[in-house]
Structure formats: C-alpha cells, structure tokens
Structure 1
Amino acid sequence: MKRQNISSGAVWEDIIGYSRAVRVGNIVEVAGTTATEGDQVIGIGDAYEQARYILQKIEKALQEVGATMKQVVRTRIYVTDISQWEAVGRAHGEFFSNIKPTSTMVEVRALIKPEQLVEIEVTAILSSEG
C-alpha cells in the first residue's frame, strides 16, 4: 500500500522522526497536535481557544491527504487540567457535533510547553461514501 506522509514543517519532525499526518490506504492518522505555531503558543491560558485552534490545524492536515472531518472516527484529547473538560468539549462539539466520532479525554501531568493546555490526535477512515 502507498504511504503518504504530511509534514507541518516543524523542526521537531526531523529531530524526533514523526509526521503531522500519515495516510496508508484509506486510513489517516493525525499526530498529537497542540496550539503552537513556530515557537509561539496560541491561546495562552484558554483551553477552549487552544482546542479550536488545534482542530483547525487537524482539519488542514486531513485536507492535505484528501480527507475531511466527516471521516474522523476517533479523537484522543489530552488536557493538563481535567476541570477544563467542558471548554475543550465545547470546541470539540463545534467540529464534531454531527459526526460524533468515538472520543477519549484524559488528564496528563504536562505537555512539552507549560502554556500548552490541550493536545489532540485523530484517526480518519476514508471511504467512497465520504
């Protein structure tokens, strides 16, 4: 099967050895994504804004491999403060309320930068039905 790697251009991709998204056949995996652009964290102190920004980045990555948010079947959400679950969930619902993928949200001790409050990864399955 053909493999398609999508890069975000982040310097860390080559250092760590990962891709923003990978498509193999009809399966697309989008790596854990944070609200970071270059060295700048977007939406500092605002879990809702970070989640929205992340989901927009994920949507762009999916588009690069010919997928849409409608094809997402699973999301995994990592938060540094589970008490922010409603704010993160609200952003998630704005993108997925009609799609309803399976989803998991867990609290983690920390992300790479202390200002990062949320990290999200997704799995999509492409089909002829879209």
Structure 2
Amino acid sequence: MRRNIATGSAWEGVVGYSRAVRVGDQVHVAGTTAIRDGRVVGPGDAYTQARVALEIVVEALAACGATPADVVRTRMFVTDIRDWEAVGRAHGEVFATVRPASTMVQVSALIDPDLLVEIEADAVVGSPSGSGSGPGSPEVTPP
C-alpha cells in the first residue's frame, strides 16, 4: 500500500510531488530545504540550513512511521562544496550512529538563490542499523 505525505506547500500540487512516500517498509523523503512558513531559514548559513532541512526530514520520517535510525541512504546537494564541513557536521549530528550510505555533491543552483543545501533520505522501517557492533537500532535524537 502506498502512503503519500504532504506538507500543504503550494508547490506540491503544481509540481506533483509529496514530501515523503511510504510503500511497504520503504520510505523516500523528497529533496528537502530550509524553508519554513514560506521563507528560507538561515540565509547564508549552510550549517543552519542543513539542520533545518534535517528537522523537516525527521518530521517526514515520523509521519511515515519511521525514525532516523531507519535511514539507509542520504543525498546532500550543496551550492558551494566549500560548505561540505558545515553540512557534514549537521548530518553527523543526526546520523553519526546510524551511518547511512551518503552522497554530497555540488550543484549550480537550487530553486531559491538563498538556499545552500537540499537533502534527500531513504529509509527501511524496522531495519537494524548502527555501527555494526551489535544488534538493534541505535537511539537517534532528531535535530
């Protein structure tokens, strides 16, 4: 069974997408940026934007019955690769013990020139995760 999660953004209908989609035990969270209440949070600050984007990702996961511990892959898109450390630090604060497969690439632009970071996530609900040192899922605190 397919479950679409919407945020109510006007763009969802225009573009035809969902914030997240759950099919079976798989959850896919769409590219997520630091936009809250129609405005960019943290213009000029890649770390803050990554943290806010990750908060939104965690909220979408929760709406699908998943947690950060279920995440198996993330993709981070940055407009300036020199921000890799700040974005990576924010990512590590959420996923340090989960350690999903992850990619970070530089892109020429995002939908708004004030946006510096966009993050996607894929999860498998109930998947054992962690550092490989023991069974079960680690506890992960959302941002």
Is 1:44–1:116's contact at 8 Å kept on the other side of the alignment?
yes
How far apart, CA to CA, are the structure 2 residues paired with 1:35 and 1:128?
A: 27
Q: How big is the alpha-carbon RMSD for the aligned residues of Structure 1 and Structure 2?
A: 1.0
CA drift at 1:77 = 0.2
TM-score by length of 2: 0.88
What corresponds to 2:77 in structure 1?
78
What is the letter of the counterpart of residue 38 of structure 2? D
Identity of aligned residues (%): 57
How far apart, CA to CA, are the structure 1 residues paired with 2:94 and 2:127?
A: 22
CA drift at 1:5 = 0.2
CA drift at 1:103 = 0.2
CA drift at 1:128 = 6.8
How far apart, CA to CA, are the structure 1 residues paired with 2:5 and 2:76?
A: 21
How far apart, CA to CA, are the structure 2 residues paired with 1:127 and 1:113?
A: 35
1:14-53 to 2 correspondences below 5 Å: 14-53=13-52
What corresponds to 1:63 in structure 2?
62
What corresponds to 1:119 in structure 2?
118
CA drift at 1:37 = 1.6
Over 3 Å counting, the alpha-carbon distance change for 1:70 and 1:128 in structure 2 is closer
CA drift at 1:127 = 2.5
Shift >4 Å, 4+ stretches: none
CA drift at 1:26 = 0.4
Aligned to 2:51, the other structure's residue is in SS state helix
Aligned to 2:7, the other structure's residue is in SS state coil
Moved more, 107-116 or 32-41: 32-41
How far apart, CA to CA, are the structure 2 residues paired with 1:63 and 1:39?
A: 22
What is the letter of the counterpart of residue 93 of structure 1? G
Is 1:10–1:38's contact at 8 Å kept on the other side of the alignment?
no
**Consecutive unaligned residues in structure 2, runs of 5 or more:** 129-136, 138-143
How far apart, CA to CA, are the structure 1 residues paired with 2:86 and 2:51?
A: 10
TM-score by length of 1: 0.96
> How many equivalent pairs are there?
129
Over 3 Å counting, the alpha-carbon distance change for 1:93 and 1:128 in structure 2 is closer
What corresponds to 2:134 in structure 1?
none
